[in-house]
C-alpha cells in the first residue's frame, strides 16, 4: 500500500468513527 492510500483509509475510518461518537455525545 502507498502512503496516500493509507491516509485515505484513515480518513474514511475517522469519518465512520466520529459520527457515532458525536451522536452518543449528544444523547448524553
Give the pLDDT of residue 20: 86
Farthest-apart Cα atoms in the chain, separation: 39
Give the pLDDT of residue 19: 86
Q: What is the pLDDT of residues 1-28, one digit of tens each?
A: 699 999 999 999 999 988 888 888 888 7
φ/ψ (deg, to 5) at 2: -95, 160
Instruction: Say how many domains are in the chain.
Output: 1
Measured CA to CA, the distance from residue 19 to residue 10 in angstroms comes to 14
Give the pLDDT of residue 5: 96
Global pTM value: 0.53
Give the pLDDT of residue 9: 96
Give the pLDDT of residue 10: 94
Amino acid at each position: 500500500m502507498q502512503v496516500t492510500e493509507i491516509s485515505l483509509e484513515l480518513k474514511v475510518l475517522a469519518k465512520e468513527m466520529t459520527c457515532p461518537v458525536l451522536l452518543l455525545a449528544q444523547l448524553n
